[in-house]
Amino acid sequence: MNVTTIIELENREVEKMAGAKLVFTQEQIDTNIVETCVDCFKYEGSEECLETDEAMQKVFITLKEEGLIPEAVEDFSYEMPSCGRLRKDVYEEQDMPQKVILSFVL
């Protein structure tokens, strides 16, 4: 039997652990609809993009160090905030998809 554990994190928690900010891409679908997805992570003051896999590896290691993930766990999966279709004239940070899901099997 496999037991899967799911850890749900807010964007700001992930950014803090990764040491970089989430970067969202936006595609205008029509006048009132914008599709928004996570593109990568960026270090503050840098234009260099950190791949999502690398950033989530940092989050995984941090969670292990904090004891939230057992040391024996070596593999994990994650889901970034899913692409969302926003229907507003002005988009703010709180409008962006907010949950990152990290899971592992014992």
According to the model, what pLDDT value does residue 53 have? 92
Of 18-32, 36-50, 58-72, 84-98, the poorest mean pLDDT is in: 84-98
Query: Residue 97: pLDDT above 70?
Result: no
Q: Please check the confidence at residue 87 and state whether its pLDDT lies above 60.
A: no
pLDDT at 99: 77
Average pLDDT value for the chain: 83
Q: Is the pTM of this model over 0.85?
A: no
Alpha carbon distance 102, 41 (integer Å):
16
Who contacts 77 (Cβ-Cβ below 8 Å, separation ≥6)? 102, 103, 104
